[in-house]
């Protein structure tokens, strides 16, 4: 009897402790989600009441909106370049840092700095560095006899410039990989050496399998992240996604639809499509991960 | 024995070579990380004439002060196609507009009021990076939100980690799955909600949600920490008659300080650097945060570049200082987010 009342007391306490989240979830997540789903089926400018139009927003999106298609392709192009380069750069740096180098803390700090800084300040800094006439990069290129491209003023070079920025800022990934590498048991390397494995052999057969879960997790996060690129492109192009829509990232276009054209229904529909894209990409990575991600617990079990 | 010795030697030599190569690449990489900052800082310290030679229309140039009828005012110079135009402000209007009087002569240090042509209102924001104001706004939002986030997430994490109640597992899965939800899905309805509450042009949309444990990641991180503390500590305290609140505040909270510090730092960073939130909710120039102020500073009219770079450096500085002091917690947070996720 006493035990029962104690359990009831504990349950009540439990609900009390998590009540901030329950309220927050209902008011700031679930409610807005449901409303957003409904709004995505409406023509809505936020001033008038939403007018139900069925799937028309979605039909426009996939039927006649060339800017929607453009924003998808810009985002995919960026991800296709930034993700692999980011993984290679941050994993490479992490492996080097793991060679028991002195000054690890200093190096780690320097590489991580870009990740902590405000996106607006970083974007303005790079905009100036990529300035076609007077920016550092093109001045340096000119010194070795190369005529630098127009970067953010050129439809072809705007995304590569953003990719360079993203590799520069890949320090957070590096720290995660480094932690993963440091947790690989040294006996595995010693055993591999006894078997005559060289540096590449050790990397291929010990390091890579052992940190594949970390790589996997980072790729998933990277996909989600690159579909959320906003501040950089917004600040550099003043919200326009210019030139010639070459930096019209998905979320930037969504923002324009909502707060520039006040097509709130359309923006909600785009947000749901984004949700579906992120979910399915994550699912794809999850499903294929069975082939290349090595979980130690699986073998033990 | 000797064979083993040479093997060891060659291994050591190999290792030393590998280390040298690693150093070289790491140093090169570190230099590449730092070069943009050097360039930004050097630009911020330069004289404007060395940066740009082309003149663009309506660029406010160097601030010179002149005297008009005994009063010191700023002199504005606008580059127009037919040569420069000079003006002095005569009246400040709301929304950063100014009424200026255009000068009919090239100005000297003292301007004779006779040379002031009829005044007109210029729809033009003075390029003024009001650092202290923006700093105060940013600090207010960041501190309010940070306190809310730390409080609410710690409470909720404790509930999920230590108290048993029906539906706990299910609710925790719901909480975790909100991490997958892109913020854009709720962005428009939340905007509508906050606008109809009259919260537009206030800090409330940027701070109030933080009090409701809206960051699932922080809850997750704190819960992991709570789970790592032996349950015997709770039981001992309860035998001594402690309530759930007592267990939480007196027994467990002191134990999870490192996790709280990590959450506080990431919360600080998130709110300090937030751009989209202030962009959507803060229209009044007096409410701008550092990030929004910096964006507005480059704004509709290009500003002198050395000023812009100086402002960008100044906005970066507080975070660099925080990083220098609390690097450990930054790194810890990233590691937990990546390895346990």
Q: What is the mean pLDDT of residues B255-272?
A: 91
Boundary residue ending a domain (B122, B141, B157)? B122
Mean pLDDT for chain B?
Answer: 81
Listed range (A18-27, A68-77, B102-111, B132-141) with the worst mean pLDDT? B102-111
Find the distance separating the first CA and the last CA of chain A, reported in whole Å: 41
Q: Which residue has the higher pLDDT, B34 or B68?
A: B34
CATH number at residue B289: 1.10.3720.10
Q: What's the pLDDT score for residue A173?
A: 85
Say whether both B208 and B103 belong to one domain. Answer: no
Closest Cα to residue A95, out of A173, A193, A16, A40?
A: A173
Q: Which two tokens stand for residue A290?
A: 């069975």
pLDDT given for residue B47 in this prediction = 61
B292 and B146 in a common domain: yes
Give B295-327 pLDDT, tens digit per residue: 988 864 456 777 888 889 999 999 999 999 988
Check pLDDT > 70 for residue B266: yes
Q: Residue B64 pLDDT more than 70?
A: no
pLDDT winner (highest mean) among A22-36, A181-195, B231-245? A22-36
Name residue, tokens 């073998």. A299
Share of chain A above pLDDT 90, in %: 53
pLDDT (0 to 100) of residue B85: 64
A253 touches chain B (CB under 8 A): no
Q: How far apart are CA A266 and CA B262, in angstroms?
A: 38
How large is the greatest C-alpha to C-alpha distance in chain A, in angstroms? 87
Chain B environment of A120 (Cβ under 8 Å): 273, 275, 291-292, 294-295, 312, 315
Q: Please tell me the distance in Å from A44's CA to the nearest CA on chain B.
A: 11
Q: Rounded to 5 degrees, what are φ and ψ at A26?
A: -65, -45
Tokens 């104001």 belong to which residue? B133
User: Do you know the residue count of chain B?
Assistant: 341
Judge contact between B186 and A28, C-beta under 8 A.
yes
**Residue B160 forms part of a structural domain:** yes
Please report the sign of the dihedral spanned by the C-alpha atoms of residue A73, residue A114, residue B206, residue B124: negative
How far apart, in whole angstroms, are the C-alpha atoms of residue A218 and residue A176?
A: 8
- Kindly report which listed range (A294-298, B21-25, B209-213, B224-228) carries the lowest average pLDDT score: A294-298
Lowest average pLDDT, out of A209-213, B101-105, B215-219, B259-263, goes to B101-105
Domain ranges of chain A: 2-39, 65-300
Is A65-300 a domain of CATH 1.20.1730.10? no
> What is the rounded CA–CA span in Å between residue B169 and residue B287?
42
At B13-24, the pLDDT tens digits run: 877 887 888 899
Tell me the pLDDT tens digit for each residue of B270-286. 999 999 999 999 988 88
Q: Among B87, B105, B122, identify where a domain stops.
A: B122
Q: How many CA atoms within 13 Å lie on the side-chain side of A200?
A: 0
Give per-residue pLDDT as tens, B82-120.
Answer: 455 677 777 777 665 667 777 666 656 666 666 666 565
Is residue B147 one of the residues assigned to a domain?
yes
Task: Report yes or no: A178 and A97 within 8 Å, Cβ to Cβ.
Answer: yes
Element (H, E) at B22: helix B2-45
Q: Same domain for B199 and B274?
A: yes
Give me the number of domains chain B comprises: 3
Mean of the pLDDT values across residues A268-273?
Answer: 97
| Domain C-terminal end among B122, B156, B191 | B122
Q: Are residues B271 and B216 in the same domain?
A: yes
A4 CB within 8 Å of a chain B CB: no
Q: Lowest mean pLDDT: which of A62-76, A84-98, A213-227, A239-253?
A: A213-227
Rounded-to-integer distance, Cα A257 and Cα B119, Å: 39
Pairing between β-strand A51-52 and β-strand A42-43 as defined by DSSP bridges: antiparallel
Q: Phi first, then psi: give them for residue B78, nearest 5 degrees.
A: -115, 130
| B51 belongs to a structural domain | no
pLDDT (0 to 100) of residue B214? 92
Pairing of strands B116-122, B98-103: antiparallel
Q: Are residues B328 and B282 in the same domain?
A: yes
Q: Is B55 a member of any domain?
A: no
Are residue B160 and residue B13 in the same domain, yes or no? no
Of A128, A175, A264, the CB nearest to B188: A264
Name chain B contacts of A217, Cβ cutoff 8 Å: 338, 341
CB contact under 8 A, A183 and B339: yes
Q: ipTM of the assembly?
A: 0.90
Same domain for B231 and B274: yes
Instruction: Identify from A87, A110, A125 which residue to disrupt to test chain B contact, counting B C-beta atoms within 10 A and taking the largest count.
Output: A125
Q: Which among A6, A117, A139, A225 is the top mutation candidate for probing chain B, defined by the most B β-carbons within 10 Å of its own β-carbon?
A: A117
- Residue pair A23/B212 in contact (Cβ under 8 Å)? The answer is yes
A293: closest CA of chain B, how far (Å): 14
* Same domain for B178 and B102: no
* Residue A174 contacts residue A114 (beta carbons within 8 Å): no
The answer on B27 and B171 residing in a single domain is no
Task: Report d(CA B33, CA A109) in Å as an integer.
Answer: 11
- Mutation choice for A interface testing from B23, B182, B214, B220 by most A CBs within 10 A: B182
* Contact check, Cβ <8 Å, A20/B35: no
- B226/B265 Cα distance (integer angstroms): 18
* Contact (CB<8Å) B323/A113: yes
Domain shared by B224 and B109, yes or no: no
- B141 and B34: one domain? no
Same domain? B153 vs B299: yes
Per-residue pLDDT for A206 more than 70? yes
Residue B269: pLDDT above 80? yes
In 3D space, the residue among B338, B218, B335 whose CA is nearest the CA of residue A218 turns out to be: B338
Beta bridge partners, A43, equal A51
Q: Which residue has the tokens 């909100």?
A: B178
- The CA R_g of chain B, rounded to the nearest whole Å, is 29
Q: Give B338: exposed, middle or buried? Use CB within 10 Å, 0-12, 13-18, 19+.
A: buried
Quote the domain boundaries for residue B33.
2-45
Residue B288 counted as domain residue = yes
CA atoms of A10 and B243, how far apart (whole Å): 9
In a domain, B58, yes or no: no
Tokens of A23: 């309220």
């Amino acid at each position: 009897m006493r035990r029962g009342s104690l359990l009831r007391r504990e349950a009540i306490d439990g609900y009390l402790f998590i009540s901030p989240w329950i309220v927050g979830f209902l008011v700031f997540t679930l409610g807005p989600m449901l409303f957003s789903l409904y709004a995505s089926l409406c023509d809505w400018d936020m001033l008038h009441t939403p007018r139900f139009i069925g799937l028309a927003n979605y039909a426009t999106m996939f039927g006649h909106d060339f800017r929607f298609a453009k924003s998808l392709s810009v985002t995919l192009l960026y991800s296709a370049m930034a993700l692999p380069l980011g993984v290679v750069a941050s994993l490479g740096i992490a492996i080097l840092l793991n060679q028991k180098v002195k000054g690890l803390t200093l190096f780690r700090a320097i590489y991580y700095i870009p990740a902590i800084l405000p996106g607006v300040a970083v974007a303005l800094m790079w905009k100036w560095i990529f300035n076609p006439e007077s920016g550092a990069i093109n001045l340096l290129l000119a010194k070795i006899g190369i005529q630098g491209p127009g970067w953010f003023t050129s439809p072809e070079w705007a995304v590569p410039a953003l990719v360079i920025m993203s590799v520069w800022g890949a320090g957070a990934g590096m720290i995660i990989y480094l932690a993963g590498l440091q947790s690989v048991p040294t006996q595995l390397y010693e055993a591999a050496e006894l078997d005559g494995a060289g540096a590449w052999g050790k990397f291929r057969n010990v390091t890579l399998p052992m940190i594949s879960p970390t790589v996997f997790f980072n790729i998933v996060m990277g996909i989600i992240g690159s579909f959320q690129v906003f501040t950089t492109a917004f600040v550099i192009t003043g919200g326009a996604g210019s030139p010639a829509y070459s930096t019209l990232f998905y979320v930037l276009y969504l923002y324009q639809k909502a707060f520039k054209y006040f097509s709130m229904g359309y923006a909600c529909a785009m947000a749901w499509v984004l949700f579906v894209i992120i979910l399915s990409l994550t699912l794809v990575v999850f499903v294929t991960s069975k082939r290349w991600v090595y979980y130690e617990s699986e073998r033990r079990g | 024995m000797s064979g083993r010795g040479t093997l060891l030697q060659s291994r050591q030599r190999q290792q030393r070579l590998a280390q040298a190569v690693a150093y070289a690449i790491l140093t090169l990489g570190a230099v590449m990380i730092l070069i943009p900052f050097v360039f930004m800082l050097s630009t911020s310290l330069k004289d404007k004439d060395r940066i740009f030679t082309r003149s663009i229309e309506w660029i406010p140039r160097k601030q010179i002060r002149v005297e008009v009828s005994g009063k010191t005012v700023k002199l504005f110079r606008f580059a127009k196609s037919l040569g420069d135009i000079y003006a002095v402000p005569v009246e400040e209007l709301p929304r950063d507009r100014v009424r200026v009087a255009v000068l009919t002569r090239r100005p000297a240090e003292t301007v004779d009021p006779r040379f002031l042509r009829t005044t007109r209102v210029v729809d033009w924001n003075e390029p003024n990076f009001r650092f202290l104001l923006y700093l105060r706004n940013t600090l207010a939002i960041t501190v309010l939100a940070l306190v809310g986030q730390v409080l609410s997430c710690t409470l909720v994490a404790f509930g999920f980690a230590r108290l048993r109640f029906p539906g706990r597992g299910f609710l925790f899965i719901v909480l975790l799955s909100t991490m997958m939800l892109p913020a854009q899905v709720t962005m428009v309805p939340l905007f509508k909600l906050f606008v109809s509450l009259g919260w537009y042009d206030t800090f409330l949309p940027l701070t109030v949600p933080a009090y409701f444990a809206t960051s699932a990641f922080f809850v997750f991180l704190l819960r992991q920490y709570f789970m790592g503390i032996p349950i015997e500590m709770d039981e001992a305290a309860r035998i001594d008659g402690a309530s759930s609140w007592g267990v939480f505040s007196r027994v467990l909270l002191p134990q999870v300080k490192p996790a709280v510090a990590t959450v506080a730092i990431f919360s600080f960073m998130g709110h300090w650097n937030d751009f989209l939130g202030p962009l959507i909710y803060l229209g009044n120039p007096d409410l701008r945060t550092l990030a929004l102020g910096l964006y507005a500073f480059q704004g509709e009219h290009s500003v002198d570049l050395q000023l812009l770079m100086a402002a960008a450096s100044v906005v970066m500085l507080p975070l660099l200082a925080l990083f220098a002091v609390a690097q450990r917690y930054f790194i810890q947070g990233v590691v937990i987010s990546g390895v346990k996720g």
